[in-house]
Amino acid sequence: MLLTIGFKFCGGCNPRYDRRAAYERMVQAYSPGYKATMAKSGESYDILVIIAGCKNACANYSDINYTKKLMIITSEQLPI
């Protein structure tokens, strides 16, 4: 069974890097061992990744569940 990764973007009010490119690099790096999808309210994921455009990382993810790990990305330095 594949582990699930839910991705959520911040609102993008003050992005300091290309968040979409970071998302695409992470999805490619984690494939094929993980099932990557955009996170949805009320859903549960093994890993939840918040892709914040700046250090404020103000995206609300309180309505999204994760069981193993939360990752908050605030720069192009990705934890791959």
Using DSSP, state whether 3 is helix, strand or coil. strand
Collapsing DSSP to helix, strand or coil, 31 comes out as coil
What average pLDDT score do residues 7-25 get? 91
pLDDT in the model for residue 77: 78
pLDDT at 29 over 90: no
Distance CA(32)–CA(41), nearest Å, equals: 24
Residue 38 pLDDT exceeds 80: yes
What integer is the mean pLDDT of 63-77?
93
Q: What pTM value is reported for the model? A: 0.89
Does residue 80 surpass a pLDDT of 60?
Answer: no
